Amino acid sequence: MVDDERPSGPTRGRGSWTGLHRSGSTRAARQSRADRVAALWQNSELDGVPVGDDTDGLPEAVPANDDASLVSNPDVDAGLVTDPDAGDDISEAIAPTGDAGLTDDSPGSEPDEIPTPSKPRIRARTPAAERVTPSSPVAPPARAAVDDDHAWLDDEAGPVVRPYTLTGGRSRPVTSGLGLLTHVESLFAPDADLVQLQPEHRSILSLTRTALSVAELSARLDLPVGVVRILVGDLLQANLVSTFEADAALRAPDDDILQAVIDGLRAL
């Protein structure tokens, strides 16, 4: 994978960070845009973001595009903001585009007007790609607007950078095979030299006194899954935890289990 070819060490994490920050931008430039677009951004009026603005440091060759390209700004932003709420906020902005492009289905339309089956589904991916591609030149302004709203100074600031300082810049676990539902259980190891461990390692050890899935560890520790995999990998290597597959992928649940699930759900 990509990261194996990349330099290891803390730069790995910082690389991601600066990338997200659009390293081409100067602080001053971003600041000046902030003044102009902050209000627009907060009102979610993405179409109002001044696209001709080139203070983001992009090459001059990148032209301001027409408004057709603006519609996909939300798409591009959605991933960079890394904020589920933000994703929800812009969903309204995306939906009409998708509808128009995919089905020509107006909000009030009857199902009869829903286009013939299968065709639109096949077409579904194509308009999406077309929708996004022309936006490339205009994506940076809105992205910078997010920066300027100090999105990186709130809760989202830590998660991007800090996890890879926890792992010493590593982005791959020393072991493989840790799925989301792989269960981790700490082993009794009285002689272990716990002093060497990071606090997060110790947190994992204490959380996994009863077996816990990687996904749940990640959610409880509020660390990205990839980081938890690396930390668990360290503990595996040190023989401080064991793992086992609870994932039904390895043993398809039989009818008894399915019936138990049905009964259990009904009894909730």
Residues 41-100, interacting with another protein (CB under 8 A): 57-58, 62, 75-76, 78-80, 82-84, 87-88, 90-92, 94-95, 98-99
Q: Which is nearer to another protein, 84 or 199 (CB)?
A: 84
Binding of residue 222 to another protein (CB under 8 A): yes
218 binds another protein (CB under 8 A): yes
- Name which of 28 and 252 has its Cβ closer to another protein: 252
Nearer to another protein, 197 or 243 (CB): 243
Q: Which is nearer to another protein, 1 or 195 (CB)?
A: 1
Contact yes or no for 34/97 (Cβ under 8 A): no
Contact flag: residue 203 with another protein (CB under 8 A): no
Residues of this chain, 130-159, that bind another protein according to CB under 8 A: 132-133, 135-136, 139-140, 159
Q: Which is nearer to another protein, 18 or 42 (CB)?
A: 18
Interface pick for another protein out of 52, 117, 190, 199 (rule CB under 8 A):
117
CB 257 within 8 A of CB 244: no
The token duo for 47 is 């179409």
The answer to whether 41 and 142 have CB atoms below 8 angstroms apart is: yes
44 token code pair: 């979610």
Q: How far apart are CA 72 and CA 65, in angstroms?
A: 12
Q: Count CB-CB contacts under 10 A for residue 150.
A: 12
Burial classification of residue 134, based on how many CB atoms lie within 10 Å of its CB (0-12 exposed, 13-18 middle, 19 or more buried): middle
